[in-house]
């Protein structure tokens, strides 16, 4: 028999079929978690790119302000476009708010 007595508790050893089923189930769970981790890594990379791009844009605007290469209206247009872009990123990527314009 496949029975063992341990600390006065009778325990049955799992059969080969049960072990195979358990290992397949654990493999399935592991694969799902790996996919989730990969998606998180990809989103993290995308958000890093957005932050770097935004930071670079702000640095350029700061330099423009000191060098006066563009007039203030041009700088305001660039700032408004950057603000709009960041607002969209925050709503869609960070807060993950749904777009209500599909109604």
| 80-103 pLDDT, tens digit each | 888 888 888 888 888 887 655 544
Per-residue confidence band for 10, with pLDDT thresholds at 50, 70 and 90: low
CA atoms within 13 A of residue 42's CA, in its CB half-sphere: 6
Per-residue confidence band for 67, with pLDDT thresholds at 50, 70 and 90: low
The pLDDT > 90 percentage for the chain reads 24
Residue ranges per structural domain of the chain:
13-96
| 49-62 pLDDT, tens digit each | 988 988 888 888 77
Query: Which region, left, alpha or beta, applies to residue 96 given φ > 0 means left and ψ of -120 to 50 means alpha?
Result: left
Q: pTM here?
A: 0.60
Residue 51 is encoded by which pair of tokens?
Answer: 């932050």
């Amino acid at each position: 028999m496949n029975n063992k007595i341990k600390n006065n508790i009778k325990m049955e050893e799992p059969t080969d079929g049960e072990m195979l089923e358990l290992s397949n189930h654990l493999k399935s769970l592991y694969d799902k978690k790996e996919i989730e981790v990969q998606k998180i890594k990809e989103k993290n990379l995308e958000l890093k790119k957005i932050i770097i791009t935004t930071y670079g844009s702000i640095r350029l605007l700061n330099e423009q302000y000191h060098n006066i290469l563009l007039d203030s209206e041009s700088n305001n247009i660039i700032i408004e476009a950057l603000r709009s872009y960041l607002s969209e990123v925050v709503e869609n990527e960070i807060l993950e708010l749904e777009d209500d314009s599909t109604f």
